[in-house]
Structure 1
Amino acid sequence: MKFVNTILAAALVAVSPTAVSAQMRALSDPVVPHPDPESLFSSSDPVLHRNKQAALHIQRELLKCNEWARAGEWLTDAYIQHNPVAASGLEGVIYYFVEIAKREPLNPCPALSAEDPNGVVAVMAEGDYVTILTRRIMPYADNPAESYTTTWFDTWRFVDGKADEHWDPATLPTAAPPQPTGVAAMNAEQLAQRMADREAIEARMWAYDRSLDNYDPEAYAANFTPNGAFGRTQGREALAQMIRDLAAGQEERRQQGVAIAKMHHFTMNQWLEFTGPNSARYHYYHQTVFGTGGAVGSATAPVVAAAGQGVDDLVKVDGEWLIQMRNVAPTREQE
């Protein structure tokens, strides 16, 4: 049956590549992570074992638990990148994840699990190189509420137990598709639908900021598609846990005597770009501010904790506009 499906898919591509791109479903078996991923990071060879253990720390402490302040323990200062949207250098890596993406460390840091969205499938080591194969969950273009799995890889070259060079299959983002219908060419019904879509998206982004400022994990996650993502945090449960961890971390600091004022997120200079009948891109500037009042220079004056530019992708699923990807640190190509 799989052979028949493959022949049918090939025939459809020959007839109508555009139509099949919107309708095709994965023909492959799903990618399944290893049931005990951390057991893969060992070797009887002492050099390979050291490199595999360093790769484990990168996968667990950095990529899963966001302990980027510790990145220098496992990455060299040079850290040569071959990902086209990432610059080389340890300082740049730390700055991006800590200051721009605002990744909050998980405490305690859990072990790698087969339940991780990017669960580890296999680990291979030879010479100075270690490659990790992981699952990647991808949404279907015509229905982002559904998804399929494929395989991602990361390869590192190690020097004295630290990663000095990195490869992965990332590519530069493609340009957004053109607007399907110009406003001038819309009829009354289409214009009314466009206005309704715009209002729904504005309401969604308002709900996003309010749920975040109120540390409401369930309401926050409900703003996303089931497999929606904020950076590398993907899926509603992982997104809800991110907010729980944020609230817990702040409460722990309060218990230590640190005064933390109320958080407010500001979204400004918005431009809503419709990229299709059921997809849109939300461009904006953003600020995160702690505090509600007080003169400049006073102890109660608002404090700007972060500022930057964002580009979010939204999709319309069963008549509801939801966030598919929240990107608060886009590259020039993504703007």
Structure 2
Amino acid sequence: MKSQFAFLAAAAALSLTAQPASAQQRALSDPVVPHPDPESLFTSKDPTLNRNKQAALHIQRNLLKCNEWNRASEWLTDKYIQHNPVAASGLAGVVYYFTEVAKRKPLDPCPALSANDPNGVVMVSAEGDYVTILTRRIVPYGSDPNDTYTTTWFDTWRFVDGKADEHWDPATLPPAPPQASNTVKPMAPEAAAQRVADREAIENLMWTYDRSLDMYDAKKYAAHFTEDGAFGQTKGRAALEKMITDLVKGQEDRKAKGEPALGTMRHFTMNQYIEFTGPTTAKYHYYHQTVFGNFGRGDDPDRPQVVAAGNGVDDLVKVDGKWLIKYRNVGASTDI
């Protein structure tokens, strides 16, 4: 008999390991079936065991099923020591969890325990100061949450003067979330080549953007944006082009009045980092400085003046194979 059992166990194990890695093991056991009259299990001819079993019945029915947590002190001591790793000890803590965290609402009237309860009682055992209740636990399959199997849960209490003073169950801490892999998957040769080409195109875009701005070339400047591209609150190529022409006109008007005007303009972009967010989208991270020559200070027309510095993150998009600026964001810059 022993060798036959060993053979059957080995055969079962072999059949499980032969399954594909992606297939989840299916339950081989018979289903867990609750007792048809669960409350009848909470009695004993021994007065002490009967008192403890009746207190366990109230915990199972009035607290865990009917959520009458305002009555918890009738069956739990103030100390109520917990050995469930996700629950703190103490009566106040367990009441707070079920009423304020789990938001359990009392059932009125409170029905008796039933074989139809999801956590239906299977067996009750009492010995000395201890009472153990076995209950059904319905568990969904990870591969198909609509399909379930059953297993057995237990709760054990130690009673002092008819109240539960200590509790055990098989609960464990939830698993840690999967960690993102630090391993960078190698790109296919075609994708790697395209990434190099995109990076070069973006670097060229941002260089010519600064150059067209420094040369006050309004049309070329606006062409670096998408049709609905924006610099801050200025949106659309027509508005962007006007922004530059208005800047030039304003400086020419100041010169005509003999007032100080901007000299040579230079934009310095540093510490650039291109973050590809998709095949046709990217973010351009950078520090920047804006420098003007003269700016009406002193007699030297080429004396540089740093007028602004900061950092920015621009949104870029690839349209018809060409990288353009969707949103130029230098909002983090601070004037000096």
Structure 2 length-normalised TM: 0.50
Q: Equivalent residue of 1:39, what SS?
A: helix
- The aligned counterpart of 2:48 is 47
* Contact 1:5–1:27 (CA under 8 A) maintained in structure 2: no
Which SS does the other structure have where 2:14 is aligned?
helix
Structure 2 residue aligned with 1:19: 21
Aligned counterpart, 2:166 = 165
> Structure 2 vs 1, CA of residues 185 and 91 (structure 1 numbering), >3 Å: closer, same or farther?
farther
Over 3 Å counting, the alpha-carbon distance change for 1:182 and 1:155 in structure 2 is same
Q: Please say if 1:70 is aligned against 2:71.
A: yes
Structure 1 residue 10 corresponds to structure 2 residue 19: no
1:28 to 2:29 alignment:
yes
* Residue pair 1:6, 1:27 contacting (<8 A) in 2 also: no
Q: Could you say which residue in structure 1 is the equivalent of 2:99?
A: 98
Q: Using the alignment, how far apart are the partners of 2:127 and 2:116 within structure 1?
A: 27
User: Residue 116 of structure 2 aligns with which residue?
Assistant: 115
- Deviation, 1:177, is 3.1
Pairwise CA distance, 1:98? 1.0
2:60 corresponds to which residue? 59
- Quote the offset at 1:23 in angstroms: 2.7
Corresponding residue for 1:226? none
Structure 1 residues 68 and 185, CA, compared in 2 at 3 Å: closer, same or farther?
farther
Aligned partner letter, 1:10: A
Partners in 1 of 2:73 and 2:186 — Cα distance? 56
Which digits, 9 at most, give the CA deviation of each residue in 1:235-258, with x for residues without a partner? xxxxxxxxxxxxxxxxxxxxxxxx
- Report the AA paired with residue 44 of structure 1: K
The CA distance in 1 between the partners of 2:178 and 2:65, in whole Å, is 33
| Structure 1 residues 175 and 5: CA distance shift in structure 2, 3 A | farther
For structure 1, the 5+ residue unaligned runs are 188-335
3-state SS of 1:83 partner: coil
Please tell me the residue identity of whatever aligns with 2:154: F
Residue type at the aligned position of 1:90: L
Q: CA offset at residue 74 of structure 1?
A: 0.2
Matches of 1:140 and 1:9, distance apart in 2: 20
Relative CO higher for 1 or 2, CA cutoff 8 Å, sep ≥ 6?
Answer: 1
CA distance in 1, matches of 2:172, 2:133: 18
Shift of 1:185: 9.1
1:131 matched residue in structure 2: 132
Q: Deviations over 1:134-189 (max 9, x none)?
A: 000011121111010000000000000000000000111111234699999999xx
Contact 2:53–2:126 under 8 Å retained in 1: yes
Provide Cα deviations, 1:251-288, integer angstroms capped at 9, x if missing partner.
Answer: xxxxxxxxxxxxxxxxxxxxxxxxxxxxxxxxxxxxxx
Work out the CA distance in 1 between the residues paired with 2:98 and 2:117: 20
**Structure with greater Cα Rg:** 2
Mapped to 2, the partners of 1:5 and 1:180 lie a distance apart of 40
Any idea what SS the aligned residue of 2:109 has? Answer: coil
- 1:154–1:166 contact (8 Å) kept in structure 2: yes
Judged with a 3 Å threshold, the aligned counterparts in structure 2 of structure 1 residues 180 and 117 are, in CA distance, closer, same or farther, namely: farther
How far apart, in 2, do the equivalents of 1:35 and 1:183 lie? 57
In the other structure, the counterpart of 2:240 is none
Say whether 1:84 aligns with 2:56. Answer: no
Letter of the 1:55 partner, please give it. A
Identity of aligned residues (%): 73
| Distance in 1 (alpha carbons) for counterparts of 2:57 and 2:148 | 27
One-letter amino acid of the structure 2 residue matched with residue 122 of structure 1:
M
Indicate conservation of the 8 Å contact 2:132/2:157, yes or no.
Answer: yes
Q: Distance in 1 between matches of 2:186 and 2:80?
A: 51
1:143 matched to 2:144: yes
Task: Indicate if the aligned counterparts of 2:16 and 2:25 stay in contact, CA closer than 8 A.
Answer: no
TM-score, structure 1 normalization = 0.51
Give the letter for the 1:59 counterpart. Answer: Q
- Structure 2 stretches of 5 or more lacking a match? 189-336
Once residues 177 and 89 of structure 1 are traced to their aligned partners in structure 2, the CA distance between those partners, rounded to angstroms, is 33
Equivalent-residue separation in structure 2 for 1:88 and 1:186 (angstroms): 52
One-letter identity of the residue aligned with 1:19? A
